[in-house]
Amino acid sequence: MREKITRKSLTGERNGKTDWARVDALTECELERSIAADPDADVAVDWTKARLVMPRRKESVHLRIDPDVLTWPGSRGKGI
């Protein structure tokens, strides 16, 4: 079974179902009203109980691997 691959472009190309021409045409006031009316856009987040959690440091792991093991994935062709 082949899995579905989603590709993203770094060129600024916009894909999807959003009507970007309509969004770009909105004024700042209209955009703010639209965001305020959106129930999923919860902008009133209470940060008073937030706490900073630092990630644990990484462990250094060293492996000795045969060269044929490292070259095998590339020898199978692109995308395999």
pLDDT digits over 45-59, tens only? 788 999 999 999 999
Which tokens is 14 given? 């916009």
pLDDT at 80 over 60: no
Amino acid 79: pLDDT: 62
Judged against a pLDDT cut of 90, whether residue 75 lies above it is answered with no
Closest among 51, 53, 29, 33 to 43, alpha carbons compared: 33
Those residues with Cβ within 8 angstroms of residue 35's Cβ, 6 or more apart along the chain or in another chain: 41, 43
pLDDT for position 16: 75
Rounded to two decimals, the pTM is 0.33
